[in-house]
Amino acid sequence: MSTKIDLPYYAGEPVAISPAGWLLIVATVAVAFLQLIMLPLPTPPLNFIPAILFTGLPLLALMAVTGWRRPALFRSVGIKEIGIGIGFGLLTMLSSAIVGFALANSIGAAANPAVEGLLAFGTVDLLLFLARTFIQLIGEEVVSILPLLAVLWLCVSKFGLSRRVGLIIAVVVSTLWFAAMHLPTYNWNFVQCVGIIGSARIVLTLAYLFTRNLWVSSIAHIFNDWVLFLTSFAIGHLPVGIEG
């Protein structure tokens, strides 16, 4: 009987990462995020550069500290994995809707400026936007799961905690990190980011934990966000003001 493959790196498989290596990975994740929000390249094609660096820098750091091996975060992807990813994408939308409804009366939710910007987009603008967000959303999975694995390694290897306890702590830390990354986007609304964005992050993290495949969580993330983007674009471009 085959045994399900474990999460990579935290226990030295498929390759051990030194404490300095983990520190470099986490530092690179932070640098990748900072350049994403600070690099003043708002228009295409230059605005693809921050998205590419956001996704590529942490993966480059991971490869550098693992002997330039292919990142074990990713496994093969086919129809099954795409279907699972879409399923988790639907669960992400559902969880966000439920938590958003529950918090609707207690917070003044801030709108996503990217979604609002879609109202002024033409078709070409939309396609460029989707292409850039495709890259960036994979990056969001990379910069969420790498810190999770780093915390898991720290808890198990250095603090002597069990894998179960370490994983719970790692999920909490990576969820809070993901929520914090969205604070500038949502006007520093802490409750919105921790509640709505955090609940979505937990579902996306489960997609990775269940499949050990970052492609699956990336597909779920892209599906969730693209449905929002495309729906907003469609609504914003409906014909209005029909005269009788």
Q: For 141-194, how does the pLDDT look when each residue is reduced to its tens digit (9 = 90+)?
A: 999 999 999 999 999 999 999 999 999 999 999 999 999 999 998 888 988 899
Give the span between the Cα atoms of 39 and 130, in whole angstroms: 19
> What is the structure's pLDDT at 244?
38
10 Å Cβ neighbour count for 13? Answer: 12
Q: Which helix (H) or strand (E) holds 149?
A: helix 123-153
CA angle 130, 149, 53 (to 5 degrees): 35
Give the span between the Cα atoms of 120 and 106, in whole angstroms: 31
| Domains in the chain: boundaries | 75-236
User: Residue with structure tokens 């499949």?
Assistant: 211
Contact between 234 and 105 under an 8 Å Cβ cutoff? The reply is: no
10 Å Cβ neighbour count for 213? Answer: 20
Give the span between the Cα atoms of 43 and 229, in whole angstroms: 18
Verdict on whether the full-model pTM lies above 0.75: yes
